[in-house]
Amino acid sequence: MTVDLVIKNAKLVTPRGINDSGLIINDGIIVGITKDLHLPQADRVIDAKGKPVLPGPIDGHCHHTSPPDTAETSSQAGARGGFTTLLDMPPETTFNGEEYRAKRQRFSGNCYLDYTLHGAAASGYPTGSLAEQWVQGATGVKFFVSNAGPGWPQTFDGDIIEGFRELAGVNGLALIHAENDQIIQDNSRRLKAEGRKDFPAMLEARPKIAEVECGRRIIQYLEETGCRGLIVHTSVPETVYRAAEARIRGVKVNIETCPQYLYLTTDDVKKKGPWAKFAPPARSKETTLRIREMLSKGWIDTVATDHSPHSKEAKEAGVDDILNAPNGIPGLEPFLTLMLNGVNEGWLSLERLAAVTSENPARIFGLYPKKGALRVGSDADLVIVDMDKEVIIRNEDQITACGWTPYDGYKVKGVPILSVVRGTVIMEDGVVVGDKGYGEYNPRL
CB of 325 to Zn ion, least distance (A): 16
Residue type, 350: L
Length of the chain: 445
CB of 142 to Zn ion, least distance (A): 8
- What sign does the CA torsion over 79, 84, 89, 94 have? positive
CB of 148 to Zn ion, least distance (A): 9
CA atoms of 110 and 106, how far apart (whole Å):
8
Binding site for Zn ion (CB under 5 A): 306
For Zn ion, which is the closer residue by CB, 132 or 256? 256
- Which among 197, 248, 241 has a CA at the least distance from the CA of 223? 248
CB of 308 to Zn ion, least distance (A): 6
Cα–Cα distances in Å, from 216 out to 163, 209, 243, 266, 411? 18, 11, 8, 23, 37
CB of 59 to Zn ion, least distance (A): 11
Residue type, 276: A
For Zn ion, which is the closer residue by CB, 211 or 306? 306
- What sign does the CA torsion over 241, 244, 219, 257 have? positive
For Zn ion, which is the closer residue by CB, 59 or 306? 306
CB of 91 to Zn ion, least distance (A): 9
For Zn ion, which is the closer residue by CB, 179 or 306? 306
Residue type, 170: V
For Zn ion, which is the closer residue by CB, 306 or 379? 306
For Zn ion, which is the closer residue by CB, 86 or 384? 86
For Zn ion, which is the closer residue by CB, 15 or 60? 60
CB of 78 to Zn ion, least distance (A): 15
CA atoms of 404 and 390, how far apart (whole Å):
20
